[in-house]
């Protein structure tokens, strides 16, 4: 338990103003950091010799619709060296963009595209930010809480373009 906190402690030392909240629930460490520092923090977690979070297990978006910073981007990291896991979160408002971590973990490429496709969170410096699951030309972001589950054009006839 105390060992896992090393990561949080080092991040706090390196970025004192950035760590907003730190929470441990059932041995899972959650850290909420500032949006603008996410790239630097990820780079530090990846490259620090004591931490070496070299695997990005998942990257996903969350929508807390009525709240003020509407979205949350969650990074699930894993360190092969220490066998530790870490969950890093940032709050993102509507229309704000996040620095892409694709240059750190290649795995972030498609994961960020998925978050962009379904939530509309834009990632700056991403090499190829376009829709990954829905087709080109689709309007809207379906996993947003204010998106109707049947789609906005449910009553209209569906005509596929062949």
Q: What residue ranges bind another protein (CB under 8 A)?
A: 134-135, 140, 142, 147-152, 154, 157-162
Record the tokens describing residue 96, joined without a space: 């704000």
Three-class secondary structure of residue 62 per DSSP? strand
Q: Which residue has the tokens 């054009």?
A: 153
Residue 151 half-sphere exposure, CB side, CA atoms within 13 Å? 9
Q: Which residue number, 28 or 146, has a Cβ lying nearer to another protein? A: 146
CB of 65 to another protein, least distance (A): 17
Closest to 27 in 3D by CA, of 75, 87, 80: 87
Q: Which residue number, 68 or 149, has a Cβ lying nearer to another protein? A: 149
Q: Which residue number, 84 or 141, has a Cβ lying nearer to another protein? A: 141
CB of 83 to another protein, least distance (A): 37
Alpha carbon distance 123, 57 (integer Å) = 18
Q: Which residue number, 127 or 148, has a Cβ lying nearer to another protein? A: 148
CB of 150 to another protein, least distance (A): 6
């Amino acid at each position: 338990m105390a060992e896992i906190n090393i990561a949080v402690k080092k991040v706090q030392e390196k970025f004192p103003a950035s760590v907003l909240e730190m929470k441990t629930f059932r041995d899972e460490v959650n850290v909420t950091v500032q949006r603008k520092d996410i790239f630097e923090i990820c780079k530090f977690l990846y490259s620090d010799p004591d931490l070496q979070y070299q695997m990005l297990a998942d990257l996903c978006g969350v929508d807390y619709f009525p709240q003020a910073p509407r979205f949350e981007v969650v990074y699930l990291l894993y360190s092969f060296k220490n066998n530790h896991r870490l969950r890093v979160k940032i709050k993102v408002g509507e229309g704000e963009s996040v620095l892409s971590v694709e240059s750190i973990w290649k795995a972030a490429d498609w994961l960020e595209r998925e978050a962009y496709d379904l939530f509309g969170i834009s990632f700056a410096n991403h090499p190829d930010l376009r829709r990954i699951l829905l087709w080109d030309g689709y309007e809207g972001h379906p996993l947003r809480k204010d998106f109707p589950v049947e789609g906005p054009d449910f009553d209209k006839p569906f005509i596929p373009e062949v």
